[in-house]
Amino acid sequence: MSDAAAGAVPPARRGRQPWAVRLGLSPRFHAFCARVPGLRHIARSEGAALFDIVQGFVQSQALLALVELRVLHRLAEGPVPLSALAGPAGVPAERMAILCKAGAGLGLMACRRGMWRLTVRGAAFLTVPGLEAMVRHHPVLYRDLADPVAFFRGETQPELAGFWPYVFGAGGAADPELAARYSALMADSQGLVAADTLRMVDLRGVRHLMDVGGGTGAFLAAAGTAHPALRMTLFDLPAVVPAATARFAAAGMAGRVEIVAGSFRDDPLPRGADAVSLVRVLYDHSDATVAALLRAVHDALPAGGRIVVSEPMSGGDSPDPATDVYFSVYTLAMQTGRTRSGAEIARMLVQAGFSDVKTIAGFRPYVTSVVTAARSFNTDPQKSV
């Protein structure tokens, strides 16, 4: 079979490519690799990696069906035969068998001696806080990506752009019921983010932490538990306040936390904190809004005060398989913000007047990474920690 007959890029048009890419463009080399024992693993692993990309949308839709039909939940109660999954789900047994085998292919469940059971991965899926809720909201993004060419050309009006109205201080910000619903989705998923952030950032020495855009207070509650002497301020839109008040009361922290309702677009940030955190806030907003917010945080801090930015970040020059696919496309669909790299955030912090900038790559970049910085001691000698 000639290269041209196989539909590959003809050798003459391969241009100046690294030698390995030239080989990758050659169907003859593919066939050669598949034949030669020492090289066969390359053909197999590259093929499998490509197949995973090709079938990603089927994987996520199979997962959604398993969640919506509560198959994994049912298995969490113990092993069952197929009929016990098919009947309650209203799915014909022969179709449920296909879904269950897909679930097994994904490593979420397994069948032994006619009984379906949960695997460790399936158990972890059900246990990660907020993951199920995130999967259940994915149909919105899925619809937005139905015509990906039009989406990337910017010719569509993504539904996701209206999904988080409270996030942007739009109309929905005034509706406490709507805010509570979306805040719950956000807060559920904040457990891992808070844990990973606290692992990367040492808050010892911080007296008073202000969490700007702190939502219902999951991060402050975790920080306050880890540091019992910490005073805290939560700053967020008014519609988010009731849920935050309830959380701190339930955690017995009401006396240590001041909740300030306001918009960082329109209102000054409260003074008094010696550290400010922004957890999953920047990537919702445009560069202009982020630049103004970082300057406002800088001005609200005393000399030596610290800022902590924590959110999923782009890999920048080394694109990350999770954040540069999922979060970058997600924030593009939201239309108001973007997924920035640690280096970009670091640059914006310097432009806002911060120094001593440190970027810390998260050990799970799809959960969060961190950039920290400090307000210089010499920018405003009037202030002190």
User: Between residue 5 and residue 34, which ones bind ligand SAM under the rule CB under 6 A?
Assistant: none
Structure tokens at 218: 């999951």
The Cα–Cα gap between 302 and 384 comes to 5
- The one of ligand SAM, ligand LPSJV3QT, none whose footprint includes residue 169, by CB under 5 to 8 A per kind, is ligand SAM
Q: 143 vs 152, 158, 325, CA distance in Å?
A: 14, 8, 17
One of 23, 65, 80, 131 touching ligand LPSJV3QT (CB under 6 A): 131
- Give me the least distance between CB of 354 and ligand SAM, in Å please: 20
CB atoms within 10 A of CB 209: 25
The Cα–Cα gap between 233 and 212 comes to 8
144 binds ligand LPSJV3QT (CB under 6 A): no
- Give me the least distance between CB of 250 and ligand SAM, in Å please: 17
126 binds ligand LPSJV3QT (CB under 6 A): no
Contact characters 34-53, ligand LPSJV3QT, x per CB under 6 A: --------------------
CB atoms within 10 A of CB 139: 13
Contact 369, 310 (CB under 8 A): yes
User: Between residue 297 and residue 326, which ones bind ligand LPSJV3QT under the rule CB under 6 A?
Assistant: none
| Contact stretch for ligand LPSJV3QT (CB under 6 A) within 30-38, 69-77, 85-93, 276-284 | 276-284
Q: Which residue is nearest to ligand LPSJV3QT (CB)?
A: 124
CB atoms within 10 A of CB 288: 8
Strand partners, 306: 275, 374
The candidate with the shortest Cα–Cα distance to 362, out of 315, 317, 294, is: 315
189 binds ligand LPSJV3QT (CB under 6 A): yes
Question: Alpha helices, DSSP H only, in 175-238?
Answer: 176-188, 190-200, 218-226
Secondary structure (H, E, C), 179-195: HHHHHHHHHHCHHHHHH
Of 108 and 293, nearer to ligand SAM (C-beta) is 293
Structure-token match 């998260």, residue found: 362
The Cα–Cα gap between 134 and 137 comes to 5
Strand partners, 112: 115
Strand partners, 314: 341
Residue 309: what are its φ and ψ, rounded to 5°?
A: -105, 125
- The one of ligand SAM, ligand LPSJV3QT, none whose footprint includes residue 120, by CB under 5 to 8 A per kind, is ligand LPSJV3QT
- Give me the least distance between CB of 272 and ligand SAM, in Å please: 17
Contact 173, 166 (CB under 8 A): yes
140 binds ligand LPSJV3QT (CB under 6 A): no
DSSP 302: P
- The one of ligand SAM, ligand LPSJV3QT, none whose footprint includes residue 263, by CB under 5 to 8 A per kind, is ligand SAM
The candidate with the shortest Cα–Cα distance to 276, out of 308, 244, 312, 229, is: 308
- The one of ligand LPSJV3QT, ligand SAM, none whose footprint includes residue 215, by CB under 5 to 8 A per kind, is ligand SAM
172 binds ligand SAM (CB under 6 A): no
215 binds ligand SAM (CB under 6 A): yes
- Give me the least distance between CB of 337 and ligand SAM, in Å please: 9
One of 158, 213, 224, 365 touching ligand SAM (CB under 6 A): 213
One of 72, 89, 281, 345 touching ligand SAM (CB under 6 A): 281
| Contact stretch for ligand LPSJV3QT (CB under 6 A) within 39-47, 79-87, 128-136, 213-221 | 128-136
Radius of gyration over alpha carbons of the chain, in Å?
A: 25
Structure-token match 């030596």, residue found: 304
Q: Which residues bind ligand SAM (CB under 6 A)?
A: 166-169, 186-187, 190, 193, 213-215, 218-219, 236-237, 240, 263-265, 279-281, 284
Residues that bind ligand LPSJV3QT (CB under 6 A): 120, 124, 128, 131, 134, 164, 167, 189, 280, 283-284, 330-331, 366-367
